[in-house]
Structure 1
């Protein structure tokens, strides 16, 4: 580390919770950032636009461009984000601490990278209080030590790490668009039957070429679900895919260097296996989870996701969903289509951990087109899903590179020329 780097406390580098919304402010509406809106260094959902008079009492912290916001509850979840460009009347919950950099000593994004480092999270976890809702205070946050290089060096580090973060953000945005497109197409073609309705009315189906339009019939027929496209069939969900329940992996304790991380509901929710329990690799191959597998948690927090977190062992309470007859997008979106019903069933259970049972999969019905039609549609849908998986794996790789470089850069342990070489290899 250069002698120009100075050790200091966060409290000397920023103002914390310095701006609060005024009760008699001029705007009727605010953009509200709740805890659920923020993930690990990312925005998970759109900030809510709500009337000021209807805003919850915790909507207090006024946000400006460059602010860093970090959740004070459950710091191990790393719910934080750097606000690059704040919209007018952007307000955060009091569940966040808002740090505004003193730009004469620290650049806003350099402050954020210090907050985002795993060592800072580890420090906060040691300071948390409370069992049900472990939390830290603003004093805990500002009492943390950080190292400050000169401002030009801060900017160089920001440029390097920021280039990775910007690529990650772009890939995530692309994936959100890809899934939105695929979901909209699936709903239009397999739930609402828009192409069939158009042809029945003598119109050309929208958003497809003539070859794709020719795959759809121009009339309906009765079924147990009501009217469905002529020649299509109704099938139980568990007849288009195999729902393999995971193992009680405590019966397969780790026994070597090649042990597998255990994929539980928690790992499915966060999308990686960091810090997971381990299990022996000596399990049947079908119970090994690989990138691109569809996973469905059938108890507790019911979710369906495509796993891109590396090899792992399938734990009980998770289904691995596969099919040799139907394409992945088909059984993935049909399972997602029924997810809200499954969640209602689980919520109705008089237990602490609601769940569904096998017969609920059988009771969930899907509409299946003839194989020729499905094959034609697959030529359009599978590339969308495969691109989504490829992008997700790229995000995983770039995130690993960033998380490797970040602690060494902000502590001065890695020289910038070395970091630039690592970055060049990672983004080649």
Structure 2
């Protein structure tokens, strides 16, 4: 039975193909990236340039530009095709099948695509809405046909442009398309707002941590004030200025207008000493401890989970390897028994550190999962999460250098490197005071990431169901568009 025989549509809905939409001028001909000798190579990657988008960069229905490779703009402009721009709908069609995204407005005038990814460019938005097309690509109907035609699951899964031109497209009335698009845009806007808030929170947290616990700026400000002949009060005022970034007139204004905030700032400044002492780390604030990473936290390595496969395919934990840590979610590509030791199971909010290959530190927000070897689950019974998270990340650059120097395919660090990674740990009163900011920031970041994950799930499951007619929608549309019959039947 052909797909046409599997579809029942309202009278004013159209079942067409990509090719027919191209011929009618609704779509530009789909285009993927450059193949063969003109395809950019790893040696062409640069630090700054034009994003080179691969299928792996399509994460959660968006383009993860933070992990993209870049090629020089001059080289990009010499390529023949694959120039995606804002508004284009992306679809992965090789190896990793069926990932989607819409190119958003950004600082880049265009993006370059690999041969794994096709862009679909809408030319007539009065007939086809890009956000609707993206939601349609996410629908079970379309994904089922794409997977079948591309041979998904095989090592050579692929559907080239010629095959893609034959793909079916369901085109409802424009009012219904706009309804689907408005839902998608609202959810995407909220996700992007969360990302921007988290970026700001991250900058704040890094600035506070580096100033207080790496550069010891409040301590150095006190010492400088005393050495200049100042009093204890002068030293305290200098520390307050270092902590807040405010000058003396601004602090006087703060004391008048926000006395509670001024009092808290003063109390925090008092917790920093006005002298230093020698340590294994060099000069650190007086009274602080010099401890190694493995003294402030437990670094639990994951398991070789190929030895712990689930006995029941319906009762399992998704496996998290380095690839899943980069993605930020467990994709279920591999499964493990739920009966592994609890120390190797991660939950939302846990700190995870990949110590081999691509070294990175992150708070996991992808749900309960099994941790594979080459990843540490970082915990502590003696120190707060924010402290061991920031100190682990503080040493990450050095760990990456160590790993890069190893003459092996996958560079890594050893536990001996954790023992040599020293940290200046303040007295408990300052840890608690700092935690009011740094712990709250970290927990807020986790909360926003989890909310964005839930919104992404809602977008990627609700909208295709809305499209297929599984959910009724009440709106100012005509009854047929507002409450369409089930659009897809027999493709489950």
Which TM class, normalised by the smaller chain length?
A: 0.7 to 0.9
Task: State the Cα distance separating 1:232 from its structure 2 match.
Answer: 1.8
Q: Pick the aligned partner of 2:432 from 358, 367, 375.
A: 375
Q: 1:10 to 1:211 in 2, by over 3 A?
A: farther
Q: Which moved more, 1:376-385 or 1:250-259?
A: 250-259
Matched, 1:34 2:52: yes
Contact 2:183 2:463 in 1 (8 A): no
Contact 1:190 1:367 in 2 (8 A): yes
Q: Pick the aligned partner of 1:314 from 367, 371, 378.
A: 371
For structure 1, which runs of at least 5 residues remain unmatched after alignment?
21-29, 421-428
Task: State the Cα distance separating 1:323 from its structure 2 match.
Answer: 0.4
- For residues 140 and 360 of structure 2, the distance between their equivalents in structure 1, rounded to whole angstroms, comes to 27
> Corresponding residue for 1:44?
64
Task: State the Cα distance separating 1:182 from its structure 2 match.
Answer: 1.1
> Corresponding residue for 1:205?
242
Contact 2:297 2:380 in 1 (8 A): yes
Moved over 6 A (4+): 46-51, 131-135
Q: Which moved more, 1:140-149 or 1:331-340?
A: 140-149
Matched, 1:111 2:133: yes
Q: 1:316 to 1:83 in 2, by over 3 A?
A: closer
Q: 1:276 to 1:54 in 2, by over 3 A?
A: closer
> Corresponding residue for 1:7?
15
- For residues 335 and 96 of structure 2, the distance between their equivalents in structure 1, rounded to whole angstroms, comes to 24
- For residues 419 and 175 of structure 2, the distance between their equivalents in structure 1, rounded to whole angstroms, comes to 62
Q: TM-score, normalised by structure 1?
A: 0.83
1:224 aligns to what SS in structure 2? coil
Q: Which moved more, 1:91-100 or 1:210-219?
A: 91-100
Q: Pick the aligned partner of 1:234 from 277, 285, 290.
A: 290
Task: State the Cα distance separating 1:331 from its structure 2 match.
Answer: 0.7
> Corresponding residue for 2:472?
415
- For residues 119 and 265 of structure 1, the distance between their equivalents in structure 2, rounded to whole angstroms, comes to 31
Q: 1:123 to 1:344 in 2, by over 3 A?
A: farther
CA deviations on 1:31-80 (whole Å, 9 max, x unpaired) are 733227954232434799998547574496555542334566654483x5
> Corresponding residue for 1:139?
162
Q: How does 1:214-293 map to 2 (within 5 A)?
A: 214-256=270-312, 257-293=314-350
Task: State the Cα distance separating 1:365 from its structure 2 match.
Answer: 1.6
Q: 1:253 to 1:44 in 2, by over 3 A?
A: closer
- For residues 140 and 199 of structure 1, the distance between their equivalents in structure 2, rounded to whole angstroms, comes to 70
> Corresponding residue for 1:27?
none
Task: State the Cα distance separating 1:180 from its structure 2 match.
Answer: 2.3
Q: How does 1:143-158 map to 2 (within 5 A)?
A: 143-158=166-181
- For residues 332 and 56 of structure 1, the distance between their equivalents in structure 2, rounded to whole angstroms, comes to 42
1:275 aligns to what SS in structure 2? coil
CA RMSD, aligned part only?
3.4
> Corresponding residue for 1:325?
382
Q: 1:116 to 1:365 in 2, by over 3 A?
A: farther
Q: Which moved more, 1:394-403 or 1:32-41?
A: 32-41
Contact 1:113 1:406 in 2 (8 A): yes
Contact 2:51 2:112 in 1 (8 A): yes
CA deviations on 1:216-249 (whole Å, 9 max, x unpaired) are 2233333332222222222111111000111233
Which is greater in Rg?
Answer: 2
CA deviations on 1:323-353 (whole Å, 9 max, x unpaired) are 0111111111111112222222223333333
Matched, 1:175 2:198: yes
CA deviations on 1:329-386 (whole Å, 9 max, x unpaired) are 1111111112222222223333333222111111212111112211111122111111
Matched, 1:336 2:393: yes
> Corresponding residue for 1:426?
none
Contact 2:138 2:464 in 1 (8 A): no
CA deviations on 1:275-303 (whole Å, 9 max, x unpaired) are 24332222332222111111112222222
CA deviations on 1:161-212 (whole Å, 9 max, x unpaired) are 3222222222222222222221222122222222222223332224272222
For structure 2, which runs of at least 5 residues remain unmatched after alignment?
1-8, 34-47, 226-237, 246-264, 476-481, 483-492
> Corresponding residue for 1:24?
none
Q: Pick the aligned partner of 2:210 from 183, 187, 208.
A: 187
- For residues 101 and 345 of structure 2, the distance between their equivalents in structure 1, rounded to whole angstroms, comes to 34
- For residues 29 and 219 of structure 2, the distance between their equivalents in structure 1, rounded to whole angstroms, comes to 58
- For residues 141 and 409 of structure 2, the distance between their equivalents in structure 1, rounded to whole angstroms, comes to 34
- For residues 137 and 288 of structure 1, the distance between their equivalents in structure 2, rounded to whole angstroms, comes to 40
Q: 1:76 to 1:185 in 2, by over 3 A?
A: farther
Q: TM-score, normalised by structure 2?
A: 0.73
1:308 aligns to what SS in structure 2? coil
> Corresponding residue for 2:112?
93
Q: 1:86 to 1:291 in 2, by over 3 A?
A: closer
Q: 1:91 to 1:251 in 2, by over 3 A?
A: closer
Q: 1:217 to 1:263 in 2, by over 3 A?
A: same
Q: Which moved more, 1:100-109 or 1:383-392?
A: 100-109
2:283 aligns to what SS in structure 1? strand
